[in-house]
Structure 1
Amino acid sequence: MSDIQVQRRSRGAMAAMVARDIPDGSFINLGIGMPVLVLDHLGLDRKVMVHSENGVLGMRPLGQDEPVDPEMTNAAKLPVGIRPGASFFHHADSFAMMRGGHLDYAVLGAYQVSATGDLANWSLGEPGVATAVGGAMDLAVGAKQVFVMMEHQTREGTPRLLERCTLPLTGLGAVRRVYTDLATLDVTPQGFLVRDMAEGLTPEALQSCTGAPLRFA
């Protein structure tokens, strides 16, 4: 697909869209990689409690010129601030929260998502390449809703949204919504439903770079 007339969404723009769709009163986890950018769009005016699997509940973005505390980080080892009322706890307790259905949303990165919501985000299936699933499987099955942030295609132009995933799976039927640089899509019983598209993109062009049939809202 030619990018000449299509304004692909930046990662920051995608993160802002995710933050907008998280309702106040939610408890959420932001996965390592692209999803950590969502924290920058959840200011103190938002009543959202952000969980990190390394044992924090109540993270916030650092303020401008706020000093960095090297012991205050998220699971990606990036510095964060702490909201009033935040708490710290053992790693085992953190995973009990994740597995026990106490998180309203998990925002994860992905290599592939299938039309039935299957998630592949921990291994490219390449021999000799080190992989680590971390807490992704726990979040995929434990969170009430899973949102995914990802590029719509690989660097080679291969679709990441497919009828069936070809990479090792993290979870079956886990994903509810996908945010890409080209579109926002819901996973429904009838497959992918496009909610919105990047500026300048046509339905035909989006379909041409997607590996599964699309329906349009």
Structure 2
Amino acid sequence: MLKNQRIDNKEVKMRVNIAKRVALELKRGMVVNLGVGIPTLIQDFLPINHGVYLQSENGVLGMGATPAREDVDMDLISASKHPITLEEGASIFSSADSFAMIRGGHIDIAVLGALQVSETGEIANWAIPGADILGVGGAMDLIANTKTIIVATLHLSKEHRPKIVKRLTYPTSGIRQASKIVTEKAVFKIEDDKLYLQEIAPESSLEDIRYSTEATFEVSRDVKVMSL
């Protein structure tokens, strides 16, 4: 039991580190959609008065941090069923209006989890062949219409297989590409269909990243330690 608890705590730390790093990408005035999984942690690591407008496809603009346990109201949740608070001036509206925002190209950044992401930035995040369908949700609309896509994911699957692959073997979520991938080990950017390693986490190494990444990537000239 203690051994399992240590494993759980290690994974929680990895997820938190990914969320903290992605939070640094979000700037004042941006409208940002946070997907299922690790992205639901990000709002808790934005600075006070951050000025980022967090949008959820179930009909919220202006999501705030996760409430304290005693203040949770499950009538106030994100599309991921994650309890939320509302920032001052937040709006609540129908999911139809929310998808109109997405399909109209009004989302600056979508932060999405992934089952796989290819070396060209193509994302698979809704189904595993031979398994029950996880559900598409708003991912395909977000990938098709958002200005910038960031993938926030653990570097390896639960089966310890690389998630960053040469080509997808799971069903694609759309042909548009992510511009950045953030894992607990590294930060990559995708540019002109090529994958570039930009940052290495303090607890990782280039050798570790090469071993745990199936995709081919180039090391940026100015590669640095990951910011957290």
TM-score (norm 2): 0.86
Q: Is 1:57 aligned to 2:57, yes or no?
A: no
CA deviation profile, 1:100-128 (whole Å, cap 9, x unmatched): 1100000000011111111100001115x
Paired residue for 1:188? 191
Paired residue for 2:83? 79
CA deviation profile, 1:19-52 (whole Å, cap 9, x unmatched): 1111111000000111100011124410000001
- Counterpart CA distance in 1 for 2:98 and 2:69 is 30
Contact 1:141–1:174 under 8 Å retained in 2: no
> Which fold has the larger relative contact order, with Cα–Cα distance below 8 Å and residues 6 or more apart in sequence?
1
Q: CA deviation at 1:167?
A: 0.6
- Counterpart CA distance in 1 for 2:85 and 2:111 is 19
Which amino acid in the other structure matches residue 21 of structure 1? E
Paired residue for 1:46? 50
Sort the Cα spacing of 1:134 and 1:201 in 2 relative to 1 into closer, same or farther, 3 A: same
Paired residue for 1:89? 93
Q: CA deviation at 1:190?
A: 5.0
Equivalent residue in structure 2 for 1:163, among 156, 166, 170: 166
Which consecutive unaligned segments of at least 5 residues does structure 1 have? 1-6
Runs of at least 4 residues of structure 1 off by over 3 A? Answer: 62-66
% identical equivalent positions:
37
**Which of 193-202 and 53-62 deviates more?**
193-202
Which amino acid in the other structure matches residue 216 of structure 1? V
- Superposition CA RMSD, Å: 1.8
- Counterpart CA distance in 2 for 1:160 and 1:119 is 10
Q: CA deviation at 1:174?
A: 2.1
TM-score (norm 1): 0.90
Which amino acid in the other structure matches residue 184 of structure 1? V
Q: CA deviation at 1:131?
A: 3.0
Q: How many residues align?
A: 210
- Counterpart CA distance in 2 for 1:125 and 1:101 is 31
Which amino acid in the other structure matches residue 137 of structure 1? M
Matches within 5 A, 1:1-217: 10-62=14-66, 64=68, 67-127=71-131, 129-189=132-192, 191-217=194-220
Contact 1:44–1:60 under 8 Å retained in 2: no
Which consecutive unaligned segments of at least 5 residues does structure 2 have? 1-9, 221-228
